[in-house]
């Protein structure tokens, strides 16, 4: 078949909402875009373990400790599911991890911000997981089958992440004066970076949007960001806290919340590696991987020995 | 009653401190799959420790002559001091490398399995119930850690050497398992600690043989954890663990 | 096909904007990567094993345990199968028409094809 026909057939499938599966023909750019997006998503889950992992040893009650550990562990699972999905496109996990460690591949910039107090655990769950979930729910319908299926599994697991975060903020918001202040401070610090998670404004992009056409992505950055603001602006009232944006107000005409301008200079700086924790995050991942090398080598060597031993036994029996 | 409380706290502290140590691997494991695996063990141990603390708290609240603040799992975990903690010394040692971590888990889980079997047979219904629930988890911990001992012992030259180093680090802390404190003898009159020890050594020998590792000869053993004489590490662990509760006394989380 | 994708998304940051904390790499360690396994889970006694996802493990035993640790944390299963991914053979999607289309017109294989009097209950 001619390339042009293949492309036409491919697009027809997409238009008919038929999922693309690993062995199906796909345009090279579709493959590449998916590998990049899925692996960056996977990296985000893995690097995202670090800021929260940071508070596991100091969680203020045994219940909170168990919840936090389970949550951070879930993120490891999410990374694993996503790496697996990307591997179906022919890129090995090892390759993707190398790209992360060398600084070539990116991950969500939000995880380059530090978690300074216990309230950050609540704020991260509520705002960061909350922002991620909007994106992830959309991605459950993405056109690449393995990615969509990974997202379905992830969304099922995510549902407790945001809830536990919000619940722990509720407790703080009803607590001592110090706890209330801690809660407000965390919201103040995490609000803007959460909005940045949705990426640059739609208007920044001038060309035709291939990702939308291919249904890899199904809503624009600004649409998702607006959904998020509308949701959080209501929920924050339940906490009796405020969002650090003087321009935030309900717009009766649009039936949405208006909000202020994001500091894009900060956004691009953090993306480019100048965030407060970029270096530490990558160093931590590099260290874990490097120190794991001899472990992985030993397990392989042992598996090989065991296989040979079994083969010898079989020979002896025969 | 006091002995039973102390014993429950000993079990609770031991599982909590080991969980606290294992949790340090979360997000730093040698490969994603094993990061998740050891974290499952961590969560099991926290669950066990909470059961033991809750039981201790119930006993304390029953026995105490009208205290203002009833004991809870958190007051017991977060407000007791270094000398009050009764965990086994081996649990508070730094993780070291993966070899050291999985070997400690192996030594501990094999011991814990034998102990939980005894608790199930004991006269205290609540301890027996907790043991019954925990032993399923511990069965898996034994399996998982045994396989890692074999894998690393009989893996590469480097992993073999790291296992030897780990044995060297940890062996002297294994004797404490089988030297009962006064409160232990009191709560567990039916337990033959020497028999427990032989069974433990038998399992260790079996796995070590498969792992091409040798069991060290009997030697001097460190003790003290059961009575609150700890290594220098525990203070730092508690500083971390108890940070928020101590900084903001009385706050709810 | 020459498509330029300029729009950036959450979890999708364009390559040309990378920079900053690039850490010099030594070897990739790729030679120590564990093989890939496919995981099948029986969610309940009496049901079939169903594909759940994949993972890496050094050998079959470890693959089963990793599957237990990764894929059954919320009681998703009562039994597991693992198969090394390289051992899976798949039908070619290009053959789909010739493989599966021919079944489409054999409607007489389905019970609803047959009109029976109402008096015949349950057949
Ligand atoms: Fe996440
Ligand atoms: Fe996640
Ligand atoms: Fe999450």
CB of B25 within 8 A of CB of B99? no
Position C1 scores a pLDDT of 36
- The pLDDT assigned to A205 comes to 60
**Which chain B residue shows the shortest CA-CA distance from A170?**
B253
Confidence band for C67, pLDDT divided at 50, 70 and 90: very high
- Residue C8 scores a pLDDT above 60: no
Asked whether the predicted pLDDT for residue C28 surpasses 80, the reply is: no
Q: Quick one: average pLDDT of C57-62? A: 96
Residue C71 lies in a domain: yes
What residue ranges of chain B have pLDDT lower than 50? none
The total of structural domains in chain C comes to 1
Contact C56 B36 (CB under 8 A): no
Q: pLDDT tens across A154-176, in order? A: 999 998 999 999 999 999 999 99
Whole-model pTM over 0.90: yes
Q: Which residue of B has its CA nearest to C55?
A: B33
CATH of the domain at C82: 3.10.20.520
pLDDT over threshold 70, residue A134: yes
Residues of C in contact with A268 (CB under 8 A): 17
pLDDT of residue A208: 41
Which pLDDT does position A217 carry in this prediction? Answer: 80
Poorest-pLDDT segment among A219-223, B196-200, C10-14, C40-44: C10-14
Return the residue of C nearest to B43 by Cα.
Answer: C73
For residue A190, the model assigns a pLDDT of 98
Residue A294 to residue B42, Cβ atoms within 8 A? no
8 A C-beta contact, residue A133 and residue A164: no
Domain boundaries, chain B: 2-247
Tell me which chains share at least 3 CB pairs under 8 Å with chain C.
Answer: A, B
DSSP C30-84: GGGPPPEEEEEEE-STTSPEEEEEEEE-SSHHHHHHHHHHHH-TTS--SEEEEEE
Q: Is residue C118 part of a domain?
A: no
Contact (CB<8Å) A24/C30: no
Are the C-beta atoms of C28 and A92 separated by less than 8 Å? no
- Nearest residue, CB atoms, B37 vs list C56, C61, C66: C66
- Asked whether the beta carbons of residue B245 and residue A60 sit closer than 8 angstroms, the reply is yes
DSSP string, A268-313: HHIIIIISTTHHHHHHHHHHHHHHTHHHHHHHHHHHHHHHHHHHHH
Q: Which domain holds residue C91?
A: 2-113
Largest CA distance in chain B: 61
**What are the distances in angstroms from CA A252 to CA A255, A257, C33?**
5, 9, 56
* A276-301: pLDDT as tens digits: 999 999 999 999 999 999 999 999 99
Residues 181-210 of A with CB under 8 A from C: 197-200, 202, 204-207, 209-210
Residue C25 has pLDDT above 60, yes or no: no
Distance between Cα A20 and ligand 1 center (Å):
25
A291 in reach of chain B (CB within 8 A): yes
How does the average pLDDT of chain A come out, rounded?
94
Percent of chain A's residues with pLDDT above 90: 84
Q: How confident is the model at residue C30 (pLDDT cuts 50, 70, 90)?
A: low
Nearest to B104 by CA among B41, B169, B159: B169
Taking the CA of residue B33 and the nearest CA in chain C, the distance in Å comes to 6
Residues of B with CB under 8 A from a CB of C: 31-34, 36-37, 40, 143-144, 147, 151
CB B23 to CB A56 under 8 A? yes
Q: For the complex shown, is ipTM > 0.90?
A: yes
Q: Which residues of B touch C70 (CB under 8 A)?
A: 33, 36
C51 is a domain residue: yes
Q: What are the φ/ψ torsions at residue A41 (nearest 5 degrees)?
A: -65, -45
Which residues, 6 or more positions from A267, have their beta carbon under 8 angstroms from its beta carbon? A109, A196, A200
Cross-chain residue pair A60–B241, CB shorter than 8 Å: no
Q: What residues contact residue A311 under an 8 Å CB cut-off, 6+ apart?
A: none
User: Any chain B CB within 8 A of the CB of A171?
Assistant: yes
Scanning every residue of chain C, which has its alpha carbon at the shortest distance from the alpha carbon of A281? C21
CATH code linked to domain B2-247: 1.20.1260.10
What are φ and ψ of residue A250, in 5° steps? Answer: -65, 135
Beta bridge partners of C50: C41
Residues in chain C: 123
Q: What is the pLDDT of residue A253?
A: 97
Q: Which of A47, A61, A101, A150 to mutate to test the interface with B (most CBs of B within 10 A)?
A: A61
User: Among A233-237, B245-249, C22-26, where is mean pLDDT lowest?
Assistant: C22-26
Burial of A132 (0-12, 13-18, 19+ CB in 10 A): buried
To test the contact with chain C by mutation, choose from B33, B37, B98 the residue with the greatest count of C C-beta atoms within 10 A, namely B33
CB contact under 8 A, A77 and C53: no
Ligand that lies nearest to the alpha carbon of residue A48, given by its number in the listed order: 1
CA A57 to ligand 2 center in whole angstroms: 21
Q: pLDDT tens digits, residue range A261-281?
A: 999 999 999 888 899 999 999
Residue A136 Cα to ligand 1 midpoint, Å, equals 9
Say whether pLDDT at C64 is over 60: yes
Rounded Cα–Cα distance for residues B240 and A205 (Å): 47
């Amino acid at each position: 078949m001619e390339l042009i026909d293949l492309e036409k057939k491919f697009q027809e499938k997409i238009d008919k909402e038929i999922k693309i599966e690993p062995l199906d023909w796909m345009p090279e750019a579709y493959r590449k875009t998916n590998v990049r997006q899925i692996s960056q998503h996977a990296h985000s889950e893995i690097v995202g373990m670090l800021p929260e992992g940071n508070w596991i040893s100091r969680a203020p009650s045994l219940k909170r400790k168990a919840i936090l550990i389970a949550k951070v562990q879930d993120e490891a699972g999410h990374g694993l599911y996503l790496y697996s999905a990307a591997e179906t496109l022919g890129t090995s996990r090892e390759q993707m991890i190398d790209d992360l460690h060398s600084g070539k591949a990116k991950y969500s910039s939000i995880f380059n911000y530090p978690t300074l107090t216990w309230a950050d655990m609540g704020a991260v769950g509520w705002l960061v997981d909350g922002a991620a979930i909007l994106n992830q729910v959309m991605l459950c319908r993405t056109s690449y089958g393995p990615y969509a299926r990974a997202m379905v599994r992830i969304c099922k697991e995510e549902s407790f992440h945001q809830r536990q975060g919000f619940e722990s903020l509720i407790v703080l918001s009803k607590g001592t004066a110090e706890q209330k202040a801690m809660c407000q401070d965390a919201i103040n610090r995490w609000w803007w970076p959460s909005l940045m998670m949705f990426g640059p404004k739609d208007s920044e992009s001038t060309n035709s949007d291939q990702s939308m056409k291919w249904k890899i992505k199904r809503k624009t950055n600004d649409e998702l960001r607006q959904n998020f603001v509308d949701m959080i602006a209501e929920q924050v009232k339940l906490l009796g806290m405020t969002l650090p944006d003087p321009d935030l107000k309900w717009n009766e005409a649009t039936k949405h919340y208006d909000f202020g301008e994001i500091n894009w200079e900060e956004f691009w700086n953090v993306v480019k590696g100048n965030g407060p924790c970029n270096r530490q995050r990558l160093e931590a991942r590099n260290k874990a991987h490097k120190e794991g090398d001899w472990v992985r080598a030993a397990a392989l060597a042992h598996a090989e020995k065991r296989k040979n031993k079994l083969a010898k036994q079989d020979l002896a029996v025969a | 009653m006091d002995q039973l409380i102390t014993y429950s706290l000993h079990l609770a502290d031991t599982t909590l401190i080991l969980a606290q140590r294992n949790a340090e691997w979360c997000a730093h494991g040698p490969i994603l799959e094993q990061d998740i695996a050891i974290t499952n063990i961590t969560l099991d141990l926290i669950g066990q420790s909470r059961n033991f603390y809750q039981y201790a708290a119930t006993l304390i609240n029953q026995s105490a002559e009208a205290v203002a603040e009833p004991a809870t799992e958190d007051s017991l975990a977060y407000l007791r001091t270094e000398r009050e903690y009764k965990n086994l010394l081996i649990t508070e040692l730094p993780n070291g490398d993966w070899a050291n971590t999985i070997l400690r888990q192996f030594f501990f889980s094999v011991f814990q399995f034998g102990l939980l079997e005894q608790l199930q047979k004991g006269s205290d219904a609540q301890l027996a119930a907790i043991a019954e629930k925990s032993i399923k988890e511990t069965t898996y911990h034994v399996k998982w850690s045994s396989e890692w001992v074999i894998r690393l012992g009989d893996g590469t030259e480097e992993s073999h050497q790291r296992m030897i180093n780990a044995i060297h680090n940890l062996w002297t802390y294994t004797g404490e398992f089988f030297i009962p404190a006064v409160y232990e003898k009191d709560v567990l009159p039916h337990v033959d600690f020497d028999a427990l020890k032989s069974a433990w050594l038998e399992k260790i020998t079996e796995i070590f043989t498969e792992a091409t590792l040798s069991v060290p000869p009997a030697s001097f053993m460190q003790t003290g954890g059961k009575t609150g004489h700890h290594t220098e590490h525990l203070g730092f662990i508690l500083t971390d663990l108890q940070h928020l509760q101590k900084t903001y006394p009385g706050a709810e989380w | 096909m020459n498509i330029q994708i300029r729009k950036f998304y959450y979890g999708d940051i364009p390559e040309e904007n990378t920079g900053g904390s690039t850490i010099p790499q030594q070897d990739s360690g790729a030679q120590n990567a564990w093989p890939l396994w496919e995981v099948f889970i029986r969610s309940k006694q009496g049901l079939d094993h169903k594909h759940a996802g994949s993972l890496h493990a050094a050998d079959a035993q470890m693959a089963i345990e990793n599957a237990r640790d990764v894929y059954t944390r919320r009681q998703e299963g009562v039994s597991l199968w693992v198969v090394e991914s390289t051992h899976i053979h798949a039908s070619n999607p290009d053959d789909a028409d010739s493989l599966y289309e021919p079944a489409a017109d054999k409607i007489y294989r389905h019970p609803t094809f047959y009109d029976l009097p109402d008096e015949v209950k349950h057949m």
